[in-house]
Structure formats: C-alpha cells, structure tokens
Amino acid sequence: MTCIVNGKAFDEEPDPGQCLRTFLRSLGHYGVKKGCDAGDCGACTVWLDGIPVHSCITPAFRADGHEVTTIEGLGSPGDLHPMQRQFRDAPGFQCGFCTAGMIMTSATFTEAQKADLPRSLNGNLCRCTGYRGIEDAVKGLVGVEAAAPGKAVGASVSAPAANDVVTGRAEFTMDTHIEGMLHLKVLHSPHAHARIVSIDKTAALAVPGVHRVYTWEDVPRRRFTTAIHTDHLVDPDDTFILDNTVRFVGQRVVAVLADTVGAAEEGCRRVAVEYESMPAVFDPEEAMAEGAPQLHGTYDPFVRDPVRNILLEVHSHIGDVDTGFAEADVVHEGTFSSPRVQHAHLETHGSIAWMEDGRLHVRTSSQSPSIAKAKLEYLFRLRPDQLRVFCKRVGGGFGGKQEVISEDLVALATLDTGRPVCLEYTREEEFTTASPRHPMTVTVKLGAKADGTLTAIHVHNVSNTGAYGNHGGETLYAGGAAVMLYRCPNKKYDGFSVYTNTVPSGALRGYGMTQPAFAMESAMHELALALHIDPLELRRRNIVRPGDPLVAMHDGPDDVTFTEDGLAQCIDLVDEAMARTAGEPSPGPEWLVGAGVASSLHATAPPTEHISEAWVTLGDDLMYEVAVGTAEFGEGTSTAHVQIAADQLGTTPSRIRLVQSDTDRTGFDTGAFASAGLFVAGNAVLRAANAVRDRILEFAAAHTGVHVVMCSTDDEGVVCGEQRVSLAELVALARARGIRFTAARKAYGSPRSVTFNTQGFRIAVHRVTGEIRVLYSVQATDAGGVVNPAQVRGQVEGGVAQGIGFALTENYQVDAEGGMVNPNFRNYRIPAYADIPRTDVLLVDSSDSVGPMRSKGMAECCINPVAPALANALHDATGVRYRALPLTPERIYSRLPVYRSAPTGLSK
C-alpha cells in the first residue's frame, strides 16, 4: 500500500484488518490517540484527503493512494496552524489527550459550522474542559497572557507544554516504541464469585508468539491494596496480583504475554479455566444481612466485620440528636441514592516496563509515581535503587489513576523475561475493571426550629465498596464533610463501607463527598420548603462562619481552619447572578422552569499524610530548573508551579524548566489528588524557590559589598544598590568557588484550609418527555489567591460538566451477575459539547489559605454541589422530588404529571 502521510510517501503493507489509527502510530505518528476504538470520542481524528475521519474505524487500506494528515503535519511548534494557535491561546485544553482530534476536526470548519458547534463537534469528546475553552478556541478568543518578571502569579499564563500539546508532540504514556517490546493481555472472570479449580495453559502457549501465561501460582503471593495514599494502612490489604478466588465479573484471572496484542488476545481465548461457582451478593444491605455470602476471610485486622462483609463502619456524634429532634418544630427525612460513575478519562490505564543497567524502569499513567514505586518495591522485594517509576503527560485522571492496576503486571513480566513489556487497557476494560465512584445510599434526617435554626442532623450512609476495599474506608470518612457545612449542636454520622460482588469502587473527583452532598443539599432544599423559607436564606442562617469549629464526626481539635466568610460570599454571588438572569424566557409552554442551588466545602489537603519535596537549581544555561514529583494530567499544577517559582525568583515563566513525576529525577511526592498538587507541592516549590533566591542574593551581596536587604533579583540578574550583576557572572563566580545555587524543600498537608463553593441552575423540563435543558449555570468558588485565573475557570467548568454527567446522563448499568452491560461511550454517555451550558464562574476574593501565595486547590470540590443543585431545580420546576440519580428523561417522565400549575419555591 502506498500513501502520503504529512507530505511523506510510505510504501507499507498494513496487517489484515488493521485500522488506520494503529497503522499511523506504527509509523511514529503518536499524535493520533486511542480513546475508544469505536468511533465515539474523536481523539484519533485525522484528515483523509483533507476530510476529517475517525481513524480507529477507518480501515488502513482506505489510505491506499490517498493523502493522510495528522496533527504533526498540520503545523509545528515554530509554525503553528491558525487553529493550533487558537487552542494554545484560548486555552482550549487541559490534559490535552483529546486536543489533536479536536483541532483536526475544528480546523476544517466553515463559518456555518462554527456557528453550529453542538452539531459540528458531536463526534469529539472532552472529559476535562467543560467545552467552554474549546468553544473559545474555535472562535479565536484569547485567554492567556504574558507575565512580567516577578509578576507571574495572578496572570493567565500559558501551560509550559502548550506548543507540544497543540502540535501532537507532547508524549503520553503509550507514545513510544521500544525494540523487542512484548504485549500483555488479561483474561477476565465471567463469574461474580467463584473459586478457580484449575487452569490449563497448554493451548494458549501453543499460539504462535505467546511467551508466558501467568496465573495466580506464578505471581508473588503478597497481599496489598491498589489504592494510593502515603499511609497504606488506611486501606485494607485484601488484593493479590492474581488470585485463585474471583469476586466480581471482570476480575483478572490470567495474563498472557506475547509478541503482539493479537497473539496475546488469542492466548487469552485459549486458556481453559475451570471454576467452582460460589454464591454472590450485589446489594450492600443484603451483604450485611445474616447468612449473606462472605467475600473475605478474617486475615486482615483492618476489616471491621468480615462475617457481615463490612470493611469499615463509622459511628460518631456530637451532642445528642434525639434531644435535637425533640426540640425541633419541623423534622424532615429522605433517602437518596447515587450510582457508579466511571472516570472516563480519554487515556486508558497503561504501563510500559523494561530493564536498563540492571534496573527496572516503569513508564506509567499514574497520579503518583512515588507511591506506585513503593508498592512495586513491596510486591517484588526490590530495593529503592533497583526501580524507577515515571510519567510522561497523563491523559486525565480524576482519581482513577490513584491506583496501581497496570504497573504490577508489566513489572512482573519484565522481571521474569528481561524484555520490555506493555499493557494498555481497552475502553471496555476501563469501564468493567477500573474503579468507579462508590454507589451510596444516604439517609438524611434534619430537625429545625420554625425560624430555620438547625437543631439536629443525622446522616446514615451505606457505601458499596465492591469486591475490594481500595478507597472504601477513606471515602466513607470523607462523606462526613457534608455535615460540616452547617452549624448544629447535635450531629450524628453512621457509615458502612460494604463488600459486594461488584467491580471495586475507587477515588473519583469529589472523593466520597459528592454522594452525601447530593443527599444533604437536597434535604436542605426540602426542609426549606417545609419551613416556608427561601432555600438560600435557610443556608445563610445555618452555614459555618469564621470562628466556628468544622465539626462532623467529633468535636476535638484538627488542623483545618478558615478566617474569612467565603461560603457566605459564594451564596451571595450566586443569589445575585440568579436574580440578574431571572427574566430569561421559558423555551415554550410545554416546558416547566425551575431554579436550584447547593453548596459544598472541601479541605485543601487530605487528612492522611501528604508530602511533597521540590528541588530548584539555577543551571549553567541560566535556566532555573524546578523538579517536583507531581504528575500533570490536566489539573494545571505544572503551570502553577512554574508561575510560583518565577514569581519568587523575580523572573518570567520562560526561564523556568520543569522536571516532573520521575522518581529518578524528583523527590518524593504523595501524588496529585485531593487538590494537593497545588496546595502541598506548590508550597514545596515556593520554599525551594525562596531558598535559591536567598542564596543568590546573599552571594551577590557578598560579591558587591552591598547589604543583602538592598539586593533584589530580576529577569537578568541581581540589582545591589546601584550595581547590577548578571546571572551569567554570578554563576561563573559561584562555579569557580565550587558553589551551586540549588535547594530542596519539603511541604506537608498540614495545616489545611478549606474551599467553599455554591452552584446555581435554572432549568427547563419538558412536560411530556422529561428532557432537561439547562438555561443558566453559575458557580461561585472561594479559591483563595488565584494563581492562574484561566485555569481556575477551566477547572470549575470541567467539574460542572462532570457533575452534569453524574446527575443527568451517565448510567452505569449492570446485569444479574453485577457486570456492566454498557461499557462504551456510545451507551455510557458522558456529556458532549451540546449537553453542557456555559457556566458563569465567580471568584470570591479571599486570602485565608496557608497554601502557596494564599491559594487553595479547588479542582476537587467544584463537582460536589452540581447534582443537588440540578435536583433542587428539578423539584422546583415539577413539584416532584427525585432522590435517585441519574435524572434521566425516563425516570423523570415516569413520575411527571401531564399537566400541573407552576410550583412554589425559588423564583424563576
């Protein structure tokens, strides 16, 4: 087959049945991404004779005699195509994994197509941005700005990797080829609960190209937890790399290592496994009942009650809720359920391992290479010097990559064979075996005086942790934060994290607070209506204020403080915005219109120990190198770290060279989760940069004979009184004396501050179909000192978009065996451009944080109030309370009266 790719002729024969995506990547065009391999996401979009196509569903032979253009051929970092420049300058990306496909699609738009983006972009998905940045990019709006020396913080500077992202040159995990690399594929259990009686490898090993077939007998028999925390003891060691008992449909049973993906897949099909089926339980309430099938034995002292399948139960109280309810004029109670939700980051899980200089190297898509390394050291009894774990750019995470679920198998196979090994999840494997959000059933009981003063709060939370307990305990504890939001003398929290024969649940943006927030904020709305008080006013009367203790489960001291009334400001800003837009007309007489609000809070670091170390060095090339272990996956920490360092060193971001997420080249870092990438790692960068600046100033002061207080850095050197000393001169002088301008500093996730936010929606509900249209969306957030306004806006917009998916469209459907039946983007529908409104993002001006430059991480919490605000708006519009998510048209229609008068509630 002969084709022209980016202007270069190729005479290559594709494999039988090969798609154009894999063919182009085999030629080294790694800008062509895999997001779905089903034509649903658009990450693989290329041009075929100038027409955009999804290369994953285009046969490679269709390129014969034609011209193919990939993102690499559209433009280069030094000569950007106009659409690449627009995506860089909007900015129109976060993690950047979808960006090449977005650009290749958008670069072909006519003016008419630009005017109809809901239709024009219907074949391209983004999980990060909320699409506003993409819309701005297509329309040519500029959001980034240059920063003056020492003035980087507070400016919307461009991401360090922006040019590489928009040209397809930014490397993600799988964007490489190592000579002799083998491929792993996994055989997954078809049973929800079974014991493996025997495994026959014979037929699989006979497949040409198959090298190994690994079973539970071939791996280290060491229990561990896949969850990533600094303190591994907060999660149960209930997992093996491969096990002889399977506890959910999709569990790993066998791993086959082969020359090609196809041979490995065929090897999986030929493995003969004999199972002995065991009773299974899928509902957590049933799992706790007497006589229910038991998933785990009594080997782990962490597991609270293995007989009742309870991983962890929490019972705590402040005051006496019985007394509080007796004193109440109104008592309201409701039970709310939240389903599984998949992260749906467009880059699936994957890892590559190889041996080099006698050491194991693992290149992986992870939110924490440092802890992934620690787990591999434990599993394979390796010394720290025998192992390197690192990340390139990570294609989205949202908590899904706060697990070790691919690294262990590639490490196993490479240590065994000495060969490079690759494991890349399919989209179906991502849906069926990676850890989704915990399903929770939360009952909220509230008591209040007639004037709205809360007298008692009781929350009862049953969380389905699935077959294994990774993150099961920590997310249960986190759920208590839903009751921190309100002052009340009597609070009680009962929580149960329960094993069931379903896919293990894990970490997802909001981390255990999203589900209880839906329940608590929905119940507060209902209570307000019962009291005939405006829902916003009821919140104003009860929210925590500066000086109030943030109490949920105990009234002892903790390390979380706040000194400014950020939550009240958020509520006021949303109230004003909703009132300002209240005159917008209804879509028509067949639509019911309603409004709803909700609030939430989130600590700026997790309660478990969070550590980060940063190194800053002034190099001989006069660039400042900042080395920090945090991974970049669209949360923007790399940009913020560069800004913080540039600000403290008196220079511009262009003078900062960033080294990230590599255990050989950076210090320890717990990981980029819980918004700690800014709060903790940012503080480490700040302290290291300050230390280097002080060393430079002291050296310059001694050299010039000017007191150090009269010296200051700028972009080119140091000004000491009336004298200027260039950086080049200082570096040369220091080198001659054996001095290096370098420093390392650590930061910890304590003390912590708290981020507040409030979401408001105005929606229309179709009387007949149950369809919901969002007419207006606004979120106010207390983000502290804002390091990069464009990034803050983008994070909130992305969080709102994910929250809308959680509330309205994402339906994780399971069969009678607990297995997922819709494991693809076509049937598990994450929001597309047409589904997401533009959200007004309003920033509270506050400075009560102990974070770097008084900043607060806020990417985690912005999702939490979205679902309850939508549910409250739906209740306001219809008069019907829906307490189970997602709020699909079918669910709404089934309870919606054909005709009803306008409801009372929030003004519309």
Are the beta carbons of 6 and 169 closer than 8 angstroms?
no
Burial 531-561 (b: 16+ CB within 10 A, else e): bebbbbebbbbbbbeeeebbbbbeeeebebb
Amino acid 904: pLDDT = 42
**Across 833-862, average pLDDT:** 93
- Assess whether pLDDT exceeds 60 at residue 906: no
Are the beta carbons of 811 and 822 closer than 8 angstroms?
yes
**Across 560-582, average pLDDT:** 94
Fill in the amino acid letter for 27.
L
Q: Can you say whether the dihedral through the CA atoms of 693, 697, 698, 703 is positive or negative?
A: positive
Task: Estimate to the nearest angstrom the gap between the alpha carbon of 537 and the chain centroid.
Answer: 33
The structure tokens 């019985």 sit at: 322
Are the beta carbons of 595 and 908 closer than 8 angstroms?
yes
Contacts of 217 (CB under 8 A, 6+ apart): 244
Q: What share of the chain is helix, strand, coil (3-state, %, to 5)?
A: 30, 25, 45
Q: Whole-angstrom Cα distance, residue 444 to residue 120?
A: 44
Q: What is the dihedral of CA 152, 156, 162, 166, to 10 degrees?
A: -170
- What region, left, alpha or beta, does residue 269 occupy, with left being phi > 0 and alpha being psi -120 to 50 degrees? alpha
Nearest to residue 288, comparing CAs of 299, 277, 304? 304
Contacts of 532 (CB under 8 A, 6+ apart): none
Burial 342-374 (b: 16+ CB within 10 A, else e): bbbbbbbbbbbbbeeeeebbbbbbbbbbbbbbb
**Across 538-551, average pLDDT:** 92
Nearest to residue 666, comparing CAs of 620, 617, 619? 617
Strands (E), 268-386: 272-277, 310-318, 330-338, 350-356, 359-364
Amino acid 889: pLDDT = 95
Amino acid 898: pLDDT = 61
**Across 835-844, average pLDDT:** 97
Q: Whole-angstrom Cα distance, residue 158 to residue 790?
A: 9
If one compares 303 and 634, the residue with the highest pLDDT of the two is: 634
SS3 state of residue 511:
coil
Residue 26 CB-half CA count within 13 A: 13
Predicted confidence (pLDDT) per residue in 196-207, tens digit: 999 999 999 999
Are the beta carbons of 487 and 524 closer than 8 angstroms?
no
In the chain, count of helices (H) and strands (E)?
25, 31
Q: Whole-angstrom Cα distance, residue 716 to residue 703?
A: 17
Are the beta carbons of 183 and 261 closer than 8 angstroms?
yes
Structure tokens, 843: 């920033």
Fill in the amino acid letter for 170.
A
Contacts of 827 (CB under 8 A, 6+ apart): none
Residue 695 CB-half CA count within 13 A: 17
Give the phi and the psi of residue 24 in degrees, each rounded to 5: -65, -40
Give the phi and the psi of residue 446 in degrees, each rounded to 5: -125, 140
What does DSSP assign to residue 381?
Answer: T
Are the beta carbons of 132 and 791 closer than 8 angstroms?
no
Predicted confidence (pLDDT) per residue in 411-452, tens digit: 999 999 999 999 999 999 999 999 999 999 999 999 999 999
Structure tokens, 442: 């939360």
**Across 863-870, average pLDDT:** 98
- Assess whether pLDDT exceeds 70 at residue 128: yes
Q: How confident is the model at residue 675 (pLDDT cuts 50, 70, 90)?
A: confident
Amino acid 433: pLDDT = 97
**Across 853-870, average pLDDT:** 94
Predicted confidence (pLDDT) per residue in 467-494, tens digit: 999 999 999 999 888 889 999 999 999 9
Amino acid 613: pLDDT = 98
Q: Are strands 491-499 and 310-318 parallel, antiparallel or unpaired?
A: antiparallel
**Across 593-615, average pLDDT:** 93
Could you write out the three-class secondary structure of 676-724? Answer: HHHHHHHHHHHHHHHHHHHHHHHHHHHHHCCCHHHEEECCCEEEECCEE
Structure tokens, 535: 């829902």
Amino acid 701: pLDDT = 97
**Across 700-710, average pLDDT:** 96
Q: Whole-angstrom Cα distance, residue 893 to residue 895?
A: 5
Strands (E), 99-219: 182-188, 194-200, 210-214
Taking the model in full, what pTM does it have? Answer: 0.96
Nearest to residue 763, comparing CAs of 878, 840, 652? 878
Please report how the helices 514-531 and 866-878 are oriented relative to each other, as an axis angle in degrees rounded to 10: 30
Q: How confident is the model at residue 900 (pLDDT cuts 50, 70, 90)?
A: very low
Cβ atoms within 10 A of the Cβ of 816, count?
8
Cβ atoms within 10 A of the Cβ of 702, count?
11
What does DSSP assign to residue 76?
Answer: B
- Assess whether pLDDT exceeds 50 at residue 75: yes
Amino acid 553: pLDDT = 73
Task: Estimate to the nearest angstrom the gap between the alpha carbon of 343 and the chain centroid.
Answer: 7
**Across 582-604, average pLDDT:** 92
Are the beta carbons of 482 and 518 closer than 8 angstroms?
no
- Assess whether pLDDT exceeds 50 at residue 713: yes
**Across 529-546, average pLDDT:** 96
- Assess whether pLDDT exceeds 60 at residue 905: no
Mean pLDDT score of the chain: 95
Residues across the chain: 908
Q: Whole-angstrom Cα distance, residue 630 to residue 162?
A: 18
**Across 34-56, average pLDDT:** 98
